[in-house]
Amino acid sequence: MKKFKYLLLRRATQLLLLVLYFGANAYGWHILEGTFGSSVLFGVIPLADPYTTLQVLATGFVLGTDVLLGAAIITLFYFVVGGRAFCSWVCPINMVTDLANWLRRRLKLDKEEVNYRFLKRSARYWIMVLGLIVSAVVGVAAFEVLSPITIMQRGIIFGFGAGIAVVVAIFLFDLFGVKNGWCGHLCPLGATYSLIGQKSLIRVKHDHEACTNCMECKIVCPENQVLWMVNKESVSVTDGECTNCGRCIDVCGDNALEFSIRSFATRKQSKGVKNETNG
């Protein structure tokens, strides 16, 4: 069971949130209403997605204070717990891409992985900026027009319609196209949360002494560039692209990885080493 601790916790969180959102519409619950774009917690506390908020602001519309306050609350929350915790603990698309990734490993499709020249992991940051520009030019929140995240969430709450096609497309893209293609390369929401979580407190910490270099963590990690320290030294994962999913902790048979509170004392040192190893 230990091997699936965080995986099960994440699925439980994701499903619980979807049930709460679904119930808000279907049964009139006042626990968590709305969608990820903008929600209301307990009928009082506003929540809003930072990137969605930025898109609406980019169109030139002066947003209501509820959304601005909500975006501030969410930004602060993920600033503390790790920005991309949204991706692995909340986002419903994560279940789709995780399934695609699992199938990929099962079908052994990874052996044919290609180094895509035009699809680097940095593409998402370009897309993030581009989304704001397009929002400003067209006068509509541009990513929301095609975001599989809210399309899937609204699909679950209000019914899918043909919107299910977007979710299937993401699944096929991640399974047969690019490994970690959507979440790891394209998603501008994930990119935004990566930036928000740069300095987050909760971090995975690697214990070099305990590690036996089995590399299971790197196989299972959806952003394995953040695990550069495995087999090298005992430091925390400080990269904002880490989703704090805890899969590496689950699969580690040596207890060499564990969540911890970020240690700011070792940060500067580890950054220096990171640059060296990259260079």
Partner 1 sequence: MAKNSDNNRRKFMATTLQSVGLTALGGLLWSGYSDEAKASPLVLRPPAALPEDDFLKACIKCGLCAEACRNRDSNKDRDGNPRPSTLQMAKGGEHKLIGTPFFVPTDVPCYMCDDIPCVPVCPSGALDEASVTNEKGELDINMARMGLAVVHKESCVAFWGLQCDACYRACPLLDEAITLEYHKNERTGKHAFLLPVVHSDVCTGCGLCEKACVTEEPAIFVLPVEYATGKAGTHYVKGWDTQDQNRLKDAKEIHTVTERSEKEAADYLNMEVEY
Q: Which parts of this chain interact with partner 1 (CB under 8 A)?
A: 24-28, 33-35, 37-40, 46, 48, 52-53, 56, 59-64, 66-67, 70, 118, 126-127, 130-131, 133-134, 137-142, 144-146, 150-151, 154-155, 157-166
Looking at residue 159, its amino acid is G
Please, which residues have CB within 8 angstroms of residue 246's CB and are 6 or more apart in sequence?
5, 6, 7, 9, 10, 88, 204, 259
Report, in Å, the least distance between residue 129 CB and partner 1: 8
Report, in Å, the least distance between residue 7 CB and partner 1: 29
Q: How many CB atoms lie within 10 A of CB 110?
A: 11
246 in the Ramachandran plot: left (φ > 0), alpha (ψ -120 to 50) or beta?
Answer: left
The DSSP symbol for 256 reads -
Report, in Å, the least distance between residue 18 CB and partner 1: 14
200 in the Ramachandran plot: left (φ > 0), alpha (ψ -120 to 50) or beta?
Answer: beta
Q: Residue holding tokens 């590399």?
A: 215
Choose between 163 and 214: whose C-beta lies nearer to partner 1: 163
d(CA 244, CA 237): 9
Choose between 151 and 257: whose C-beta lies nearer to partner 1: 151
Choose between 151 and 175: whose C-beta lies nearer to partner 1: 151
d(CA 160, CA 17): 18
Q: Which two tokens stand for residue 154?
A: 């609204």
Question: Are 259 and 246 in contact, with CB atoms under 8 Å apart?
Answer: yes
Report, in Å, the least distance between residue 235 CB and partner 1: 30
Choose between 93 and 242: whose C-beta lies nearer to partner 1: 93
Please, which residues have CB within 8 angstroms of residue 266's CB and are 6 or more apart in sequence?
235, 236
Report, in Å, the least distance between residue 155 CB and partner 1: 7
Choose between 1 and 162: whose C-beta lies nearer to partner 1: 162
Choose between 123 and 249: whose C-beta lies nearer to partner 1: 123
Report, in Å, the least distance between residue 188 CB and partner 1: 11
Q: Which two tokens stand for residue 74?
A: 């969410």
Report, in Å, the least distance between residue 33 CB and partner 1: 6
Choose between 139 and 272: whose C-beta lies nearer to partner 1: 139
